[in-house]
């Protein structure tokens, strides 16, 4: 079955963003093997090896920033889930404060990076 370039690009992007091969292949009706092949082809595409040094640095920075933002969002989500657990709040109020402090520090660092201060 032929898939549109848009489907292929979206599926590759979702895997690159951290979604599992199983979830993405099911979502788009793509065999897992096809999806693995697409991702491998994208990672070894010749055009990626012809990027100028400044573009390559920019690409690495963008990827690192994306990973940082994604991990920060995951951490905030996990913090919100944990801090909404009445048992945790009641039995470990200091833990709630520590988690909050960690999340705020991480968010402040994210803002600093986005503003170019780091």
Q: What is the mean pLDDT of residues 50-60?
A: 62
Highest mean pLDDT (candidates 38-42, 55-59, 62-66): 38-42
With a cut of 50, say whether residue 84 has pLDDT above it: yes
Would you kindly state where each structural domain of the chain is located, as residue ranges? 5-46, 52-115
pLDDT per residue as tens digits for the range 89-113: 788 778 777 877 877 787 777 777 7
Q: What's the chain's average pLDDT?
A: 77
Helix 32-43 vs helix 5-16: crossing angle, to nearest 10: 80
Residues 35, 22 contacting (CB under 8 angstroms):
no
């Amino acid at each position: 079955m032929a898939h549109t370039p848009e489907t292929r690009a979206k599926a590759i992007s979702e895997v690159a963003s951290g979604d599992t091969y199983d979830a993405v292949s099911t979502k788009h009706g793509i065999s897992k093997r096809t999806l693995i092949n697409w991702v491998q082809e994208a990672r070894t595409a010749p055009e990626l090896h012809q990027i100028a040094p400044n573009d390559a640095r920019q690409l690495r920075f963008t990827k690192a920033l994306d990973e940082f933002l994604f991990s920060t969002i995951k951490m905030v989500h996990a913090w919100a889930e944990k801090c909404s657990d009445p048992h945790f709040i009641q039995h470990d109020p200091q833990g709630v404060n520590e988690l909050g402090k960690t999340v705020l520090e991480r968010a402040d660092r994210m803002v600093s990076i986005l503003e170019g201060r780091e």
